[in-house]
Amino acid sequence: MVRVVIVRTMITVAPTGAEVSKGEFPALPVTLPELLDTAIACERAGASVLHIHLRDGAGQPTLDVGQAREALSLLRQETQLILQLSTGGAVSDSESARLAILDAQPDSVSVTCGTVNFGDAVFANRWPFVAELYQRVLGLGIYPEFEIFDLGQIGTLRRLLDEFGRPAGDHVHVDLVAGVPGGMPGSAATIMACVHELDPDWTFTATGIGRTTLPVILASLAVGGHIRVGMEDSLTFAKGERVQSNLQLVERAASLASLAQRPVIAPHEARSLLGIARD
Ligand code: KMH
Ligand code: ZN
Each residue's pLDDT tens digit, 92-121: 999 999 999 999 999 999 999 999 999 999
Each residue of 131-145: pLDDT tens digit? Answer: 999 999 999 999 999
Work out the percent of the chain whose per-residue pLDDT is above 90: 96
Amino acid 68: pLDDT: 98
Q: Which amino acid is at 134?
A: Y
Q: Which residue's alpha carbon is at the smallest distance from atom 10 of ligand 1?
A: 88
Work out the percent of the chain whose per-residue pLDDT is above 70: 97
Within 8 A by CB and 6+ apart from 113, the residues are: 125, 130, 146, 147, 148, 149, 153, 154, 156, 157, 160
Asked if the model's pLDDT at residue 42 lies above 60, the reply is yes
The answer to whether 49 and 71 have CB atoms below 8 angstroms apart is no
Each residue of 158-180: pLDDT tens digit? Answer: 999 999 999 989 999 999 999 99
Q: Does ligand 1 have an atom closer than 6 angstroms to the CB of 18?
A: yes
Asked if the model's pLDDT at residue 278 lies above 90, the reply is no
Q: Does ligand 1 have an atom closer than 6 angstroms to the CB of 86?
A: yes
Asked if the model's pLDDT at residue 269 lies above 90, the reply is yes
Surface-to-core class of residue 162, CB atoms within 10 Å of its CB (0-12 exposed, 13-18 middle, 19+ buried) = exposed
Asked if the model's pLDDT at residue 4 lies above 60, the reply is no
Q: Could you give the CA distance from residue 229 to residue 205 in angstroms, rounded to a whole number? A: 10
Asked if the model's pLDDT at residue 1 lies above 80, the reply is no
Each residue of 45-57: pLDDT tens digit? Answer: 999 999 999 999 9
Amino acid 5: pLDDT: 45
- pLDDT band per the 50, 70, 90 thresholds, residue 6: low
Amino acid 16: pLDDT: 98
Q: Does ligand 1 have an atom closer than 6 angstroms to the CB of 146?
A: no
Distance from residue 89's CA to the centre of ligand 2 (Å):
7
Least confident stretch, 3-12, 148-157, 193-202, 251-260: 3-12
Distance from residue 31's CA to the centre of ligand 2 (Å):
17
Q: Which atom of ligand 1 is nearest to the CA of 123?
A: 3
Distance from residue 196's CA to the centre of ligand 2 (Å):
24
Distance from residue 20's CA to the centre of ligand 1 (Å):
12
Question: Mean pLDDT across the stretch 224-234?
Answer: 98
Q: Does ligand 1 have an atom closer than 6 angstroms to the CB of 251?
A: no
The answer to whether 226 and 5 have CB atoms below 8 angstroms apart is no
Amino acid 233: pLDDT: 98
Amino acid 104: pLDDT: 98
- pLDDT band per the 50, 70, 90 thresholds, residue 2: very low
Coil vs helix vs strand at 112 = strand
Distance from residue 87's CA to the centre of ligand 1 (Å):
7
Coil vs helix vs strand at 54 = strand
User: Best substitution site from 63, 86, 176 to test ligand 1's pocket, by max atoms within 8 Å of Cβ?
Assistant: 86
Asked if the model's pLDDT at residue 227 lies above 60, the reply is yes
Q: Which atom of ligand 1 is nearest to the CA of 86?
A: 5
